[in-house]
Amino acid sequence: MPKFKKAEIVRSKANNGDYIKFYIWDVQLNDLARKRIYVPSKYKTDSEKKAFLKDRKNQINKLLGQGFHIDKNKTKELEKTKQATQAKEKEKIEPVTIQQAVDKIIILRKAKKYKENGVSTFKKEMKSFIHWGAKQKPPITLIQDINFHTLQKYQMYVLTDLKNESKTHNNKIGVLSAFYSDCIKQEWISKENNPFEKIDELPTNYGTKNKPYTNEEVAEMKEYILENNPYLWDIISFIYYSFLRPVELRSLKVGDIDLKENVIRVWVESSKGKRCDIIPIAVPLRKVIAKMNLEQYSKNCYVFSSSKKPSIEQIGKNFMTKHFLKVKQHFGFDKDPDYSLYGFKHTACVNWYKVEKDIRKIQKMCRHTTVTTTERYLKSMGLLEDENAVAMLPEI
């Protein structure tokens, strides 16, 4: 039995406070080694600290009585054995084909309520990659076949053979990267040497899709829409004041609008980020909601429908676009595909940024996961470039 001295509690007025002192046999030292254990900072009250010291002292004495001691050589051997065991377990991972992995991930994404468009895009891009991989020599069929050199070849194929722009290239690589990450989570492949960590996004101009409208254009459209289709203006008001996407607006139910708490809840099924988002209700939007008399309808009714009142039937996918097309044609916006109903959300972003210049607030309202996304979003609308900034620089 190795020598030892029992643990005891030492009272101390030093900064670290009371502690446990004990002596344990050290093989390499060939003598007893003194050890101290202080109370962790998470224990705040005197009673918590006393309880910790008492319990830990008893635990240490029990281990010392069982012959516990220090032997660094044995520790190293145990670590080597552990690493060897882990290596063998990794080798036991059965190879999974890319197609098998894609099929299983699609099932998982549907179960997690991913948007239909997102799942469809994933299937399309992975089908394209699998088709390309089958033509390579040797064929790229297993997840393990996806390495840095594979990605380099695929990049060249996308940029030269398909002649895709940088943005499309980034989207394709992004889908592949997400797929690879899912494979790691499922432990079909090791997380070590992830080839996507070496792949950088190509610089891109994100263009002006869903262009914002000027306040003068909005004023003209408002007058025309209120005269010809006031229900459409209610839809536009929701997009502008709540920053909701049209696809989310289709899924909005009466019960999602809480006037008492003054919030709108966007649930998992319709949220782009697959979560429950809370949106504050702006004063002008509250006025729009008030005249809709939503309290007269069931909470399970959809707020918007083809009957132009809350209904258990969800509004058609093309209803909003179809009705707004008449407005676009009247004002000549139909000649530019970048003008859309969604553009009213961008209009709100532009107006808000010009007043406050607060990216954080816009990030929260747009429900972007990162500020970087919001910055890119604003840049695509010609913002983040303050032409008067230098003019305000004080003289020296």
CATH number at residue 314: 1.10.443.10
**By residue range, what is the domain housing residue 15?**
4-90
Decide if 128 is inside a domain.
yes
Decide if 123 is inside a domain.
yes
Same domain, 30 and 175: no
Domain boundary among 62, 90, 118: 90
Same domain, 76 and 46: yes
Same domain, 110 and 53: no
Same domain, 178 and 75: no
Helix, coil or strand: residue 186: coil
Report the C-alpha gap between 152 and 172 in whole angstroms.
Answer: 13
Same domain, 27 and 136: no
Q: Which residues, other chains included, contact 321 with Cβ-Cβ below 8 Å and sequence gap of 6+?
A: 246, 340, 341
pLDDT at 194 over 70: yes
pLDDT at 271 over 60: no
Decide if 135 is inside a domain.
yes
| Domain harbouring 190, CATH code | 1.10.150
Decide if 132 is inside a domain.
yes
- Read off the pLDDT of each residue in 280-294 and give the average, rounded to a whole number: 94
Same domain, 277 and 330: yes
Do the strands 257-258 and 19-26 form a parallel or antiparallel pair, or are they unpaired?
A: unpaired
Same domain, 220 and 194: no
Same domain, 266 and 331: yes
Decide if 64 is inside a domain.
yes
Decide if 248 is inside a domain.
yes
Is residue 304 packed enough to be buried (19+ CB in 10 Å), middle (13-18) or exposed (0-12)? buried
Specify the range with the lowest mean pLDDT, choosing from 75-84, 85-94, 140-149, 281-290. Answer: 85-94
Specify the range with the lowest mean pLDDT, choosing from 61-65, 180-184, 385-389. Answer: 385-389
Same domain, 54 and 116: no
Same domain, 240 and 121: no
Decide if 9 is inside a domain.
yes
pLDDT at 392 over 50: no
Structure confidence by residue, pLDDT tens digits, 6-54: 999 999 988 889 999 999 999 888 999 999 999 998 898 999 999 999 9
Structure confidence by residue, pLDDT tens digits, 302-336: 999 999 999 999 998 899 999 999 999 999 998 88
Same domain, 173 and 289: no
Instruction: Give 375 or 244, the one with higher predicted confidence.
Output: 244
Q: What is the pLDDT of residue 165?
A: 83
Domains held by the chain: number = 3
Residue 338's nearest CA partner among 210, 238, 180 is: 210
- Read off the pLDDT of each residue in 355-383 and give the average, rounded to a whole number: 77
Decide if 385 is inside a domain.
no
Same domain, 64 and 121: no
What is the model's pTM? 0.52
